[in-house]
Each structure stands twice: as C-alpha cells, then as structure tokens.
Amino acid sequence: MALSNAERQARWRARLREKLANMAAAPIPEASRETETKPDSSEAATLPKTYREKYERLVQRVEREWTARLRMAVQLRVKEHLESVVMPGYQEKLDEADSIVKARKGVMTRKMYTLILSCLHPDSRNAVTDAKLKAAFIAWKDTKLLLMSEKEEPTEKPWVPRTYAEWEAIKAKVKADRKAKRAANKKTSVARK
C-alpha cells in the first residue's frame, strides 16, 4: 500500500531530525576545512553537462552539511560555556551581593528615622536658614540605607538571567526592541523629508 503525502512528510522529518542529531553528536575534525581533500574540479569539467551539474549540487550539499554541523557544534559549545562558566559566575556575584545586603543591620528604627527627618525638613523649623536645613535634610536622607536595616528598607535586586534559555530570551527581546526602534526612526526620518 502506498504512503500518503502526510506520512511521507512525517517519515522525511523523522529522518532529518535523526540526521541532524547524528551530525551534532559527531565530533568536529581538528583539521581545518582547507586541508580536506576535495575531488579535482578539473575532472568535473570533462564530464557531460548533467553530470557536472550533479557534481556541483553534491559539492554544495556537502558544504551546507558541513556548515550546519559546524554551526551546531559551535552553538553547543557556546551554550555549554555559558552554563558552566558565565552563569555560575553571575550566581556567585548575586550571592555575594545578597550577603552584603542582608548584613546591613541599621542603627535606628523607621519611626526614629522619620522623626529626625521631619525635624530636619525646612517646613518644620524656622530657627535655621532654609539652605542649611535643606542641605541637612538631603545629607540625612542619603544615609538612609546605611542607618536602616535590610528588613525595614529592602534593597531592590536587578534581574539577571540564570540559564542559557533565559539569556537567549533576553537577547531576542532586545533584538526585537532595537529592530522596532530602528523601524520607528526610519518612519520618522522619511516623514520629515
């Protein structure tokens, strides 16, 4: 019984997936691409036209397969490097920053801080010049993180990707944002003309 078109396509896709998986698993030869032995193209020139065309298509297919195999191997190694070297480094830095932030004890409560802040604010005191009161207010406000505990005044942590997939998602989002921005800039520059 003959296969339907959908069955043939499913079989072809399965073979293609298997072939790509085998290509990714196969080791990359250490020798450079130029040192590989290639068939002599002068011999191909003596062949009839149809054989020459077949030979050229074969060479192109081999080139595409080699390029795809190399690209997959490079992407795999980049992913391994990111997950084994870069991401753990980020994690170490985040853990260190977390420990520093959590070590912040503070020397006063929020209520006491607010009381002193209200006394220093220019609206509540008339005995001192406004410029001095404002300077004291700003200086006191700048010491807030040193004086208060992490529990009472939590520090916002920046989000950092922890896996290769998150890294790639951020990259794709930034790329799309840049592309949209360029398109918007292009439209506005065309509208100005």
Calculate the dihedral angle through the C-alpha atoms of 117, 119, 123, 129, rounding to the nearest 10 degrees: -110
Q: Over range 39-51, report the average pLDDT.
A: 68
List of residues 6+ apart from 69 with CB closer than 8 A: 23, 24, 26, 28
pLDDT, tens digit, 9 for 90 and up, residues 92-118: 888 888 888 888 776 667 877 777 777
Backbone phi, psi, residue 2, to 5°: -80, 150
Q: Where are the alpha helices (DSSP H) in the chain?
A: 5-25, 41-45, 49-81, 87-102, 110-120, 130-142, 144-147, 164-192
List of residues 6+ apart from 3 with CB closer than 8 A: 11
Q: Over range 7-35, report the average pLDDT.
A: 68
pTM surpassing 0.75? Answer: no
Amino acid 139: pLDDT? 75
Task: State the average pLDDT for the chain.
Answer: 78
pLDDT at 33 over 60: no
Q: Over range 167-182, report the average pLDDT.
A: 93
**Residue 125 DSSP SS3:** coil
Of 96, 79, 76, nearest to 163 (Cα)?
Answer: 79
Tokens of 111: 């209520």
Q: Over range 60-74, report the average pLDDT.
A: 91
